[in-house]
Structure 1
Amino acid sequence: MKSTTRGTLAAVVTGVAATVGAAGPAAAAGTVPVPVPLGGVSKALHMEVPRLGAELPLPTPGAPEGPRFVTGRLLPDRTLPQLPVSGGLPGLDARAPLPHVLGDDFDHLGVTAPASALRALTPGLSADAPLTAPRAAHFGLPGTQLPRAGVLAPVLQTVAGADVDTGSGV
């Protein structure tokens, strides 16, 4: 194997290992931090710039509840079950400098909205066939009925919060 091929292979393996190593702790935490690098802008303009950061949640699907069989119906209840998904709302951490009108010091305005948990259920479907279960009075033949269908509404549950503060310094 040529040395350039070995070098390329080593670079690819190193990149994959770094990506997998960085994704492990983020997946375990449930959120991925997203810093916004504005340090270069601050140095280029020779002034204070806002400091920004965010957290993006990682949605994780759960196991759906199986269909429930009901006596007297040919199709089970919840023909298409609802899928639970847990994740979160994105978080934000921002601090912006506010200049004093009469001096050179800076105050700040900060907004902190931590990532909050979110629980959701996808829509589902409940349907029933136009035939009933076999009846003894009809010699084991099914009867007829109007077909039924119902949509199970999606569900969202969360508690969001945020803090707004001002103070001295950046």
Structure 2
Amino acid sequence: MKPTTRGTLAAVVTGVAAAMGAATASPAAAVGTVPVPVPLEGVEQTLHMELPTIGGQIPLPTPGNLDGPRYVEGRLLPDRAVPQLPISGGLPGADVRAPLPHLLGDQFDHVGLHLPAADLHTLAPGLSLDAPLTPPDASNAGLPGLKLPEAGVLAPVLQTVPGADLVAGPGL
């Protein structure tokens, strides 16, 4: 086999392997949230005291599929002239755990707050319009008639179920 043929074959095999690996790997957007730690270890060492541990999650919004215009019999314009855009994401989460020192003794208790990132589904507002004309009428020589124009705003939608856990107990 010629060196150029071997190089071309190696490039094709490498490209196919990379494409297969990318198809099976989960991208960062599929994770849903990005963890955000708050590093306080340096402050603890500097001040010689226990500080709270803090972390959080930031959601990644992802747009959904549009529910396009619907054509309705008897109307000149589609039912949803400006469709609603669905967006899925989440509410940010947080984890806080703070030490509670005893006044007498070296032991610590703790208090913790866990706010998990909650799913959030939204629909942007939409618009529904109809022209001030009727469809062509055979009894009127095929000309459309007049009617009152119609306009409607599709209300935005917001769905989520947030939750929280508050914990207190012995130990760190």
Taking structure 2 as the reference length, the TM-score comes to 0.82
Matching residue within 91, 96, 99 for 1:97: 99
Matching residue within 36, 39, 43 for 1:41: 43
Kindly indicate which of the two structures has a greater share of residues assigned to strand. 1
Letter in 1 for 2:103: V
* DSSP-derived class of the 1:79 partner: coil
Find the aligned partners of 1:108 and 1:70 in 2 and give their Cα distance.
Answer: 62
Report the number of matched residues. Answer: 147
* DSSP-derived class of the 2:134 partner: strand
Find the aligned partners of 2:92 and 2:28 in 1 and give their Cα distance.
Answer: 14
Unmatched segments (≥5 aa) in structure 2: 1-25
User: Structure 1 segments of 4 or more deviating over 4 A?
Assistant: none
Residues 25 and 108 (structure 1 numbering): CA distance in 2 closer, same or farther, change over 3 Å?
Answer: farther
Deviation at 1:25, TM superposition (A): 5.0
Deviation at 1:26, TM superposition (A): 3.4
After the TM superposition, which residues 3-152 of structure 1 pair with which residues of structure 2 at under 5 Å, given as runs?
Answer: 26-152=28-154
* DSSP-derived class of the 1:132 partner: coil
Find the aligned partners of 2:80 and 2:45 in 1 and give their Cα distance.
Answer: 60
Find the aligned partners of 1:162 and 1:67 in 2 and give their Cα distance.
Answer: 40
Deviation at 1:33, TM superposition (A): 0.3
Partner of 1:160: 162
Deviation at 1:98, TM superposition (A): 1.2
Deviation at 1:140, TM superposition (A): 0.7
User: How high is the sequence identity, in percent, across the aligned residues?
Assistant: 67
* DSSP-derived class of the 2:56 partner: strand
Find the aligned partners of 2:57 and 2:43 in 1 and give their Cα distance.
Answer: 22
Find the aligned partners of 1:40 and 1:26 in 2 and give their Cα distance.
Answer: 29
Deviation at 1:137, TM superposition (A): 1.5
Which whole-Å deviations, capped at 9, do the CAs of 1:113-136 have from their partners, x for residues lacking one?
A: 111111111100001111111111
Which whole-Å deviations, capped at 9, do the CAs of 1:53-96 have from their partners, x for residues lacking one?
A: 00000000011011000111110001000011111111110001
